[in-house]
Amino acid sequence: MKILLVGEYSRLHNSLKEGLEKLGHNVTIVAPFDGFKAYDVDILIKKKYQKGFKQKVKNLVYRLFGYDLESHNVKQQILNLKPKLNNFDVVQFINEAPFGCTASVENDIFTSISSWNNNVYLLSCGTDHISISYANKDNFRYSILTPYKNGKDTSFVEAYGLKFLTTEFVKLHQNIYKRINGVIASDIDYHLPLKNHPKYLGLIPNPVNTGILKFKKPVIKDQIVIFHGINTHNYYKKGNDIFEEALTSIKQKYSTRIKIITAKSLPYKDYINTYDEAHILLDQVYAYDQGYNALEAMAKGKVVFTGAEQEWLDYYNLEADTIAINALPNAKDIAEKLAWLIDNPEKIIEISVNARQFIEENHDYIISAKKYLHIWEENKK
């Protein structure tokens, strides 16, 4: 089968591609780079107005005329690529706005690509209209909107996906849902808002290439190593401020027994190796399920503080804090769980082994690819 994957977040589509290719399919990824992370793509859509003088010109033109040079540059690249982007058996968009363009341009791009191909599917992965609407109505106990609603973060409002509530993005959402065969959730955070939606085809856990992520059973000698990776653009959204508060408390109590490594905004190829010596990894706070960084770290045998809420436990029939540590938006709670692990290092080894087994059983990229193929085949037109 010939498959086009549109957009890339956190290496999801790369891992899926690797699984599909193992099963004998022909797969192409078309996408811009995911910010500073620079994941591999087959057809790269270049952003030409991201820095320097060109960025200033883009901003000025947008302020004066409401015309976004970057969006129209991206659209023209897509139109020019029609010979390489048509006649696929299946097309999957990773998000409602995978190119980071204005709503009208995203709509034009979606309409073009979907008209050139058969059987178009959507992933609910990253913020989109349904997930942000659900969070904005406070249907979650806490969500990625919590630091924004609490007034903690006013610096990067665009990071919270609030654009998906605007009239233009609602129109984009409606057009996409009219055309797609269906929508698939990548984890519990997107599954819950989509439940009972007529276009919802179910949850397929994020694919993880367990073949290239080697498990290393923890060896604990003099110190327990804690890794905290910070994406400065999403500092509050990921709960990095809460992690830092918890680490300050832990450092005072266990100064000689722990080593803390902090890394900021690294490209993926650097980031994935930076935490190799760590026993514990601090990922994110405002989530019910694990994102991609957490899953890859779990595959490598790290004890990860991340989303592991009751809904996730129920879905997979798990006990709390046996696979991953649920990171609540409370620095004291996080500090207490860190202290529990430091005082009981055998738990680190136990959770590490459990985490790898969980990834192999539920997130293996080939198993995941087979699930995608089944859903695509079952819902093709």
Q: Please write the tens of the pLDDT for every residue from 120-163.
A: 999 999 899 999 999 999 999 999 999 989 888 766 666 678 99
Q: What's the rounded Cα separation, in Å, for the pair 148 and 151? A: 5
pLDDT band at residue 259 under the 50/70/90 scheme: very high
224-362: CATH topology: Rossmann fold (3.40.50)
Residue of 313, 309, 308, 287 lying closest to 298 (CA atoms): 308
Q: What is the pTM of this model?
A: 0.92
Alpha helices of 180-330 — where are they, by DSSP H? 188-194, 240-253, 268-274, 292-299, 310-316
What is the separation of C-alpha 276 from the centre of its chain, rounded to a whole number of angstroms?
21
Mutual orientation of helices 292-299 and 345-362 as an angle, nearest 10°? 110
Q: Is the pLDDT of residue 330 over 70?
A: yes
Mean pLDDT of all residues belonging to the chain: 93
Give the domain ranges of the chain. 2-207+365-378, 224-362
Q: What CA–CA distances, in Å, run from 95 to 110, 126, 167, 232, 373?
A: 11, 7, 18, 22, 19
Q: Which pLDDT band, with edges at 50, 70 and 90, does 60 fall under?
A: confident
pLDDT of residue 37: 57
Q: What is the mean pLDDT of residues 184-194?
A: 97
Residue 27 vs residue 153, higher pLDDT? 27
Amino acid 157: pLDDT? 65
- What pairs with residue 124 in β-bridges? 185
pLDDT > 70 in the chain, percent = 97
So what's the architecture of 2-207+365-378 in CATH? 3-Layer(aba) Sandwich (3.40)
> Residue 32 pLDDT more than 80?
yes
Using the predicted structure, report yes or no on whether residue 36 has a pLDDT greater than 90: no
Taking only the tens place, the pLDDT of each residue in 66-82 is 888 999 999 999 999 99
Contacts of 277 (CB under 8 A, 6+ apart): 225, 261
Interacting residues of 229 by C-beta distance below 8 A, sequence separation 6+: 262, 263, 264, 266, 271, 274, 275, 281, 282, 283, 293
Identical topology for domains 2-207+365-378 and 224-362: yes
Share above pLDDT 90 across residues of the chain, in percent, rounded to a whole number:
79
pLDDT of residue 246: 97
